[in-house]
A and B are shown apart, each in its own frame.
Chain A
Amino acid sequence: MNLLGEINCFAVCLKLSEFAMLVALLIVISISLLAASFMIKMPKHRLLTFVSAQIAAFLAIITTFYLMKCDGMLTIYLYSGYAVISTALIFGVQRFYDRLMIKRLNAKPISNVIGWVQEFTGRLANATVYYYDAAVPRAFAAGKSIFVSFGLLEMLSDDELKAVLAHEAWHIRNNNRAPYMKQLAIMTFSSPGREEIEELADRYAAEIAGSEALSRARSKLDKVFI
Chain B
Amino acid sequence: MVKLDQINISNDGLTKFFSPIEAAILKTLWTEGEMMTSELTEKTKIPLTSIAGTLDRLVKAGYAARRIDNVNGRVRYVYAPVYTEDEVATEITTKIMDSLVESFGHVAIENFSKYSDKK
Contacts and interface: CB of A to CB of B under 8 A. Distances in A.
A136 B70 contact: no
B68 interface: yes
Contact of B55 (A135, A153, A155): A135
A135 B49 contact: no
Contact of A136 (B52, B73, B75, B76): B52
Contacts of B70: 113
B101 interface: no
B37 interface: yes
B49 A222 contact: yes
Given A150-B75, A154-B75, A136 B68 contact: no
Contacts of B76: 154
Interface in B53-72: 53, 55-56, 59, 66, 68, 70
Nearest to B58: A135
A114 B69 CA distance: 11
Nearest to A131: B75
Interface residues of B, number: 16
B30 interface: no
A154 B37 contact: yes
Interface in B66-91: 66, 68, 70, 73, 75-77
B100 interface: no
Nearest to A138: B52
Contacts of A136: 52-53, 56
28 contacts: A113-B70, A113-B75, A114-B73, A114-B75, A115-B73, A116-B73, A134-B56, A135-B51, A135-B52, A135-B55, A135-B56, A135-B59, A135-B66, A135-B77, A136-B52, A136-B53, A137-B52, A150-B68, A150-B75, A150-B77, A151-B37, A151-B77, A153-B75, A154-B37, A154-B75, A154-B76, A154-B77, A222-B49
List of 9 A-B pairs having minimum Cβ-Cβ separation, nearest first:
A135-B52, A135-B55, A136-B52, A154-B76, A135-B56, A113-B75, A153-B75, A136-B53, A151-B52
Interface of B: 37, 48-49, 51-53, 55-56, 59, 66, 68, 70, 73, 75-77
Interface of A: 113-116, 134-137, 150-151, 153-155, 222
